[in-house]
A and B are shown apart, each in its own frame.
With several copies, the nearest count.
Chain A
Amino acid sequence: MMIKVQSADFCVGEEYSRLRQNADSDGAIVTFTGLVRDFNQDGSVSSMFIEHYPGMTEKSLMKICSEARMRWELGQISVIHRIGHLTASEQIVFVGVTAKHRKEAFEGAQFIMDYLKNSAPLWKKEGTLSGMKWVDSKTSDEQALTRWYEDKQVS
Chain B
Amino acid sequence: MINIKFFADFRERAGVASLKLEQSGETTVASLVETLLEQNNDFEFLSSKNVLIAVNQTLSASDAKINDGDEVAFFPPVTGG
Contacts and interface: CB of A to CB of B under 8 A. Distances in A.
Q: Do A and B interact directly, with beta carbons closer than 8 Å? A: yes
A125 B8 CA distance: 8
A116 B7 contact: no
A141 to B, nearest CB: 8
A92 B7 CA distance: 19
A97 interface: no
B7 A120 contact: no
Interface residues of B, number: 19
Given A56-B57, A155-B59, A123 B81 contact: no
Contact of B75 (A59, A117, A121): A121
Most buried by A among B5, B8, B81: B81
Question: What range describes how many residues of A lie at the interface?
Answer: 20 to 34
Nearest to B57: A56
B80 A56 contact: no
Most buried by B among A81, A123, A141: A123
A51 B8 contact: yes
A39 interface: no
B77 interface: yes
B78 A92 contact: no
A105 interface: no
Q: List the 3 closest pairs (A to B, CB-CB), nearest first.
A: A122-B80, A137-B77, A123-B8
Given A53-B57, A102-B81, 14 more contacts: A51-B8, A53-B54, A92-B80, A92-B81, A93-B81, A119-B78, A120-B81, A121-B52, A121-B73, A121-B80, A123-B8, A123-B9, A137-B77, A155-B58
